Amino acid sequence: MKELIVASRNKGKVKEIIELLSDLPFKVTSLLDYPQIPDIIEDGKTYRENALKKARFVALATGKMAMADDSGIEVAALGNAPGIYSARFAGKGAGDAARNKKLFALLKGVPGSKRQARYRCVIALVDCKAQELGVVQGTCSGYVTTKNIGTNGFGFDPLFLLKRYNKTFGQLPASLKAKISHRARALKKFRILLSRHKRALL
């Protein structure tokens, strides 16, 4: 069985991706299985640039096909920031709690109706020679709450409210998030991308 490496060490992201791709005819691994590969500097100006850089780096390092997800939260009141800097905007090494706290601080005094936000996920796929096979994306719109609500998920999930359900991603069951999230929508397109190249990849 051919291997597909997820170019990430984010445990929450890796777990989510592997679960959503568990039925594919590939052995899905991640950088958690390759501790010898150094951290990849994400210095691109777009999600696409970062995703492709990560996927190509891993493919060149291993000689195996790779996929990379670059994602973030875009808050309208902040000019769509933090965007591609979502994982780093509270400083290097900062965890989810610090990032969420900073986002709350930046939105202090902003009324609920003005707290629109959007999660965006961009996924790149490259072959074992690091040649680009395609890039897809998915989005999910909601609002930023004024406090963390719920303990499910990771990252900004406890503050990302979906009005349709009147719950945050931190409250929704994983089974529902796996159908409606930005990553789930991107991975649905990713499956189509894989099927187009299935003969060459298997």
* Active site amino acids: 70
Q: Map tokens 């189509």 to a residue.
A: 192
Alpha helices per DSSP H over 86-181:
96-106, 174-180
Tokens of 55: 């996927």
Q: Positive or negative CA dihedral for 15, 17, 20, 21?
A: negative
> H helices within the chain, ranges in order?
11-20, 47-62, 96-106, 174-180, 182-196, 198-201
